[in-house]
Amino acid sequence: MKSTEQPRFTISPFLVFVFIQAMQFGSEYLSMSTKPIQWAGQDTWISVLLCGGCFHIAIWMIYRILNHNGMDLPGIHHQFFGRWAGGVLNFIFIVYFLLIASYELRFFIEIIQVWLFPELTTWPLALVMLLLVYYIVAGGFRVIVGICLFSLIRYITIFALLFPAVFFHYGNLSPVFDHSLNVLVQAGKSLTFPFGGVEALFFCYTFIEAPQKSEKWAYWANALTTVSYLLIILFTLLLFKPEQLPKEIWPQLTKYKFIQFPFIERFEYIGAASQILWVIPILCFCLWAPSRICKLMFGMKQLTALPFLFVLIFTAVCLIPGHESIEAVQKMLSEIGFYLIFAYLPFLFIVSVIRMKVRRVA
Amino acid sequence: MNGVINLGNEWLNVQSVPQLWKELSESADFVCYEHLKNTGSVYIGYFKSLTEPEVLQRHILGCLSSHPDISLEDLYVLIPIAEKELATKWDDIQNKLYRGFVAIQYSGQSHPCMLVNAAASKGRSVTMPEIEFTVEGPKEAFVESLDVNLNLIRKRVPHSDLRIKELTVGSISKSRVAVVYIHGITNEQYLNTCIQRIEGVQFDQITDSTLLQQMIEDDSNSIFPQTIGTERPDYVAWAVSSGQICVLKDGSPTAVFAPVNLWLFFITYEDYYLPWIIASMLRLIRMFSVLFSVYASPLYVAVMTYHGQGISNVFLPTIISSRINVPFPPVVEVLIMELVIELLREAGARLPSKIGQTIGIVGGIVLGTAAVEAALTSNFLLIIVALSALASFTTPIFRMSATIRMLRFPFIFAAQIWGLLGIFICTFALVAHLLRLTSLGMPYLVPFYPFRVSDLYDTVIRPPYSKFHHRFSFFRSSKPIRFDKNNANQKKDIDE
Amino acid sequence: MKRLLFLLLGICMLLTGCVKQQILDKITLSFVCAFDEAPEDQIEFTIATPKFSAGKSRTVTNILQSKIGHTSRNITELMSLQLNRPIKPGKLSVILFGKELAEKGLADDLDVILRDPLTSRRMYLAVVDGKAKEILKANFSSNEEKGMFLYNLIDTNVRNGIVPRQVLHDFEYAYVGKGRDPFLPILSLQNNQIMISGLALFKDDKYVRSLDVKQMQVMKLLQGNSKFGTLEAKQDNGTYMAVKNDESKVNYQLGNDVSSPKVTINLNLNAEIIDAKGTQLTIEEQRRIKDRFEQDLTTTGKELFQSCKEEGIDPLGLGDFVRSKTRNWNEEEWKQGYSTMNIALNVNVNLTEMGIRK
């Protein structure tokens, strides 16, 4: 089946791999290892695999829903639930994406404020980032995926993990399976927020050239994210004792303190500034998707909706003051994301399956 | 002498011919005279500055004097010049006169005018290329005459499908523009876009094909060129057989071709004459030097202003002690040095060659050493700025090296405002701009974005010719296969 | 066109987004700092700052700042009242602690360093026999900057010598983590020369005991695989012989009995004889030398274990090792059983080479 957009604006199925892993692997990975390791200690890697498996299933469900109906989520809402209820659900998604964008941006600005420039106020950086994102989004979906491809450069920082190798204590990984399944599931639950991002598939489905073919690439993207998170958790376990972690806010940035090249020592500058590679793709998509929903729901042009969303995100970012509020926002988003993937998605799937059966019978 | 003359697409009123010549005689170089014959007079008109006197005297006047009573039609057959015609429309006659034709008009007869080509070809002869000089390979370069250029191209592509479409552009310059392509290999859509854009140009004076280049570009606000100009006919032959379209203009030694992507700007044609490993290494050096040229000064500003504590202990004393007496902050230091280098470059470009050498010595050695001793700058920075200036000239295409020189200034400002973060943001803005750029509709960053694995082979490294079995798919040609790859080398066992 | 306006607007606003510059030659850097005990529960904080001169890349420290206060950051502020350039702590590579302060506990002072985003976790810490400020005052390096000298001193001995590694990260790891206790090298000043005179063992974060050089060497051998070090032992006939450690491997084994835990440490050393004092090295003789060395190492090791058990400290990390091998490990139980625990040491010395003479 072909996509419903003009071929000039579509992306090839392989780029879905790049896109989905850019959406999933956001900058929340910096602080993701503290809570699961509190719960599950040295068996956290099992929770990571568990979570990755759940998201595999989630992607499967998403593709079944999308393939059966051949359109993206706003259209599905419209069809399934009628105009008003569908509109409300679409609006919830708009708010959700705007919240994620504000959170990611504020998180990034906080990192810059703590690690690089303590005297930097929030709003100039937010303004510049949003202008940059506006320029990218105004170029269309293809440009956004191009930026995701460019941000793959961030995997070079994996080499940074080699430097603390002399400090690894392999004994931290054993004994294996020392924790109960309950605890592992708890740890897995706190990992759902970093894994989230697959709901982006709902909105870009019509922009893929041959949507059915892109399914396997989405699985590969999830696998890559799982492997990356596994590596991160592994190295955190090897490097830190579980008791050290509650005191570290961003353990992954701390690992940059170990790097010593012959000519560069304080690698944290580069590490903290390079977080922009994690943040920009998500910001771009989270600004593009609501404008697209607005276009489909209200019929306005995306370019006119963008400035409004821009202002909304800017005010939201400036209103979040300090570290505690950011953590509160993260908790809230984590809950919303969890229910989105594990409650709303199966519900949608069941409704879709019932409609298919009803249509076949009728 | 009588009758109203309607100029334009009208039949000539033969009694009014001298009147017409009078119009043109306003210019001092238009010659017209009567050649008296028994049956009447023959009016001959031509532009002295455009015609070859030899042709006029020997062939035309010779024929006329040896056959005094010949009629126009017989004269037409007799004159031993290949390009001649009989014209009736005034526009045609005028155009041809401006191209160096001689007009012969019999008075007293209602006959059309005969036009004979006597154009003088004055211009350079084919010499070595000056900008794109290669050590190996042919050393012919384009000249200003369109016909000579087309000759050079046709020699290299003696294929029946090589088509040349001629257009006239410019209301005052009325230049002949030739679009060269191979029918069947070039994509029709790109070709039509190109021709439409050339036809749509509304300018009056087009002096060079580079003006055309800027007028048919996709995005004229971008500092990145979206077409490549070259003076080598072998490069044009290669481009045309890859599926690109080439545009030549009469009076310009530069051939412009499109569509192009970013990676083609780092390829010299010499790469194809060298063995593939060496050529690939040279390409990698070029790309690295471009990155260095753009990022070296901004990184210096960022590190010295904000991230100085990131420098390792071994280097710290050297760097600090080199800067200790400099009163300016690093950004001012860098800007001063960059401006000095730009000054040197601009001055060197305008000076006659004898003085140019002296200025080079004065600028390079004296200014540099004196600046360090006067503590206007540090010697560490001097090395960086000089190296990055040199590195910006490694791109073979001249327009791109200008772009790269200009590109580092926004980065320097961004580094001054927010250090390394500013450089990252600026990089993203640059990448976003490149992603949005297209050349005749083809994305600028292909084959890296949209990602096509099969086309990666000739971008960063140049593989051996046995791997060149298909053309780039982003040129979308109708015949993508160059040769059948199954005929390539067979694998053999040892001593077999 | 609209986009251009936006960008211009953004650029104008950027003028208000300026951040503080830290131009390298306009700040004061310091590579080493020292903490000392001061009366009324205060600390004395000393830093040594290098002075750079134009054209010469060698720098000599000749400025010492010292103040007393409650928190080191406040002290730094007070110090900057005396300096013409602001102090930035980003290049700190070595931190020295006075002995009395170490006995009181280091965790509080380390908090400020661990919290700062710009400090490296690879910086070396050291305990000074006496007052740390005195070491910084002394002129022990004539043409090299003091902080760099100290850093290189400790670094060389850790990488290529007999001092076990304990950087800031290791210290925090051992201090916070269960089943391990930290240690730090001891620096002492003799005749205007600095030397590493031993190892300081800590219980939690308080300094309790010190090891001399020989015990420190054995501890490094027992801590992990190492390729450096020279051992000497007294032979039967009274002479001392020296061997060089080519490669040593150590592994720990846990005894099977859960009720009475036993840890066996197996040390395997490939040694090269470098000083035989002229003795003829027959097979018999080599076996005797091997026995002597093994005995020597075992004795020193057992002394080490004994003193650790007496103090109740665990610098080798045996608790951590046991934790990784048993399920449901409990730190309290371990600590109680530690003093009576059986630690066996098996040393095996292989004399593989003997230089270029027999």
**Could you report the per-residue pLDDT of A72-87, keeping only the tens digit for each?**
888 888 888 888 888 8
Residue with the larger pLDDT of the pair C209 and B88: C209
Residue of C nearest to A242 (CA): C177
Non-local CB neighbours of B478 within 8 Å, separated by 6+ positions: B184, B185, B187
Mean pLDDT of the region C256-268: 79
Work out the pLDDT band at A19, boundaries 50, 70, 90: very high
Q: With cut-offs at 50, 70 and 90, classify the pLDDT of residue A226.
A: very high
Domain residue limits, chain C: 26-211, 213-358
The residue of chain B nearest to residue A143, with distances taken between CA atoms, is B435
Provide the pLDDT for residue B9.
46
What confidence score (pLDDT) does residue B1 get?
37
- pLDDT tens-digit profile of B316-346? 888 888 888 888 888 898 998 888 888 888 8
Residues B85-99 have pLDDT tens digits of 887 777 777 788 888
> Model confidence over A247-290: pLDDT tens digits?
888 888 888 888 777 777 778 888 888 899 999 999 999 999 99
Judge whether A57 is closer than 8 Å to chain B, CB to CB: no
* Nearest CB to C327; choose among A138, A175, A243: A175
Confidence of residue B296 (pLDDT cuts 50, 70, 90): very high
Q: Which residues of chain A does B428 touch, with a Cβ-Cβ cutoff of 8 Å? A: 132, 136, 147, 150, 276, 280
pLDDT at B458 over 80: no
Please indicate if any CB of chain A lies within 8 Å of the CB of C173.
yes
Q: Cβ contacts (< 8 Å) between A169 and chain C: which residues?
A: 173, 320
In chain B, the residue whose alpha carbon lies closest to the alpha carbon of A280 is B428
Q: How many CB atoms lie within 10 A of CB A325?
A: 13
State which of B366-380, B426-440, B452-466 shows the largest mean pLDDT.
Answer: B426-440
Contact A117 C321 (CB under 8 A): no
- Given a cut of 60, is residue C267 above it in pLDDT? yes
Q: Which residue among A128, A135, A257 sits closest to C3, beta carbon to beta carbon?
A: A135
Quick check: C280 and C141 in contact, CB under 8 A?
A: no
Q: What is the pLDDT of residue A288?
A: 92
State pLDDT tens for residues C291-333: 888 888 899 989 988 888 888 888 888 888 888 887 777 788 8
Out of C17, C118, C173, the one facing A241 most closely (by C-beta) is C173
List B residues 415-444 in contact with C (Cβ-Cβ < 8 A).
417-419
* Segments in A151-275 forming alpha helices (H): 181-190, 192-195, 201-204, 215-239, 251-254, 268-273
Binned at pLDDT 50, 70 and 90, residue B432 comes out as very high
Q: Does C23 touch chain B (CB under 8 A)?
A: yes
User: Mean of the pLDDT values across residues A312-337?
Assistant: 89
**B420 close contact with A: CB closer than 8 A:** yes
Question: In chain C, which residues have their Cβ closer than 8 Å to the Cβ of B324?
Answer: 25, 52-54
Percent pLDDT > 70 in chain C is 92
| A114, A171, A265: residue with CB nearest C117 | A114
Q: How many CB atoms lie within 10 A of CB A330?
A: 16
**Per the CB < 8 Å rule, is A119 touching C118?**
no
Q: Using alpha carbons, select from A72, A79, A66, A131 the residue that is nearest to residue A105.
A: A131
Residue A1 banded pLDDT, cuts 50, 70, 90: very low
Pairwise CA distance, residues B482 & B478, whole Å: 12
* Neighbors of chain B with 3 or more C-beta pairs under 8 Å: A, C
> Which region among A90-99, A333-342, B275-284, C8-17 has the lowest average model confidence (pLDDT)?
C8-17
Q: How many Å apart are CA B149 and CA B232, to the nearest integer? A: 10
How many percent of chain C have pLDDT more than 90?
5
Mean pLDDT of C141-160: 84
Residue ranges of domains in chain B: 4-117, 123-260+464-496, 285-442
Of B310, B314, B450, the CB nearest to A266: B310
Q: What Cα–Cα distance (Å) separates residue B203 from each residue in A307, B73, B216, C205?
A: 37, 41, 12, 83
Lowest mean pLDDT among A10-14, A136-140, B360-364, C232-236: B360-364
Going by pLDDT thresholds of 50, 70 and 90, the confidence category of residue B14 is very low
- The answer to whether the CB atoms of B449 and A146 lie below 8 A apart is yes
State pLDDT tens for residues A98-109.
999 999 999 999
Give the model's pLDDT for residue B201: 86
Which residues of A fall within a CB distance of 8 Å from B425? 128-129, 132, 276
A241 to C20: CB separation less than 8 angstroms, yes or no: no
Nearest Cα residue in chain C from B315? C57
The domains of chain A, with CATH numbers, are 7-361 (1.20.1740.10)
Beta bridge partners of C193: C190
Distances (CA, A) of C321 to A84, B135, C212, C332: 63, 68, 25, 15
- pLDDT digit string, tens, across residues C51-82: 777 666 566 666 777 888 888 788 888 887 88
Whether A2 has a pLDDT exceeding 60, the answer reads no
User: Residue C258's pLDDT is what?
Assistant: 66
CB atoms within 10 A of CB B234: 20
Maximum mean pLDDT: which of B110-124, B290-304, C103-117: B290-304
Q: Which stretch of A313-327, B23-37, B107-121 has the lowest confidence by average pLDDT? A: B107-121
Local confidence band at B2 (pLDDT 50, 70, 90 cut-offs)? very low
Query: CB-based contacts of C120: which residues, under 8 Å, 6+ apart?
Result: A257, A265, A266, C92, C93, C168
Nearest-neighbour CA in chain A from C358: distance (Å): 38
Highest mean pLDDT among B422-431, C125-134, C250-259, C322-331: B422-431
B411/chain C closest Cα distance in angstroms: 13
Report the mean per-residue pLDDT for chain C. 83
Q: How far is C100 from chain B (nearest CA, A)?
A: 31
Contact between chains at A243 and C90 (C-beta distance less than 8 A) = no
Instruction: Name the most confidently modeled range: A170-174, B202-206, B282-286.
Output: B282-286
pLDDT for the residue numbered B361: 75
Please report all neighbours of C, defined by 3+ CB atom pairs within 8 A. Answer: A, B
- For residue B384, is pLDDT > 70? yes
Mean pLDDT of chain A: 87
The CA-CA-CA angle for residues B213, B215, B219, to 5°, reads: 95
Q: What per-residue confidence (pLDDT) applies to B6?
A: 46
| pLDDT tens for each residue of B186-196 | 888 888 989 99
ipTM exceeding 0.85?
A: yes
Question: Which chain A residues touch C14 with a CB distance below 8 Å?
Answer: 124, 128
- Alpha helices per DSSP H over chain C: 2-14, 72-80, 99-104, 107-115, 132-137, 146-160, 168-176, 213-223, 283-311, 318-325, 331-338
Highest-confidence segment of B290-299, B433-442, C82-91: B290-299
- Give yes or no for a contact between A291 and A285, defined as CB atoms under 8 angstroms apart: no
User: Beta strands C124-128 and C94-98: pairing type?
Assistant: parallel
| B78 pLDDT tier (thresholds 50, 70, 90) | confident
pLDDT at C350: 87
Are the CB atoms for C87 and C71 separated by under 8 Å? Answer: no
Q: Pick C213-358's CATH classification: 2.60.40.10, 3.30.300.210, 3.30.360.10, 3.30.465.10.
A: 3.30.300.210
Using a 10 angstrom Cβ sphere, with 0-12 exposed, 13-18 middle and 19 or more buried, the burial of residue C277 is exposed
Q: Cβ of B306 under 8 Å from any chain A Cβ?
A: yes
Sign of CA dihedral B314, B317, B319, B320: positive
Between B462 and C183, the more confident residue is C183
Which of A281, A14, A134 lies closest to B447 in space, CA to CA?
A14
Record the tokens describing residue B222, joined without a space. Answer: 């971008």
| Residue where the block lists tokens 């709901």 | A199
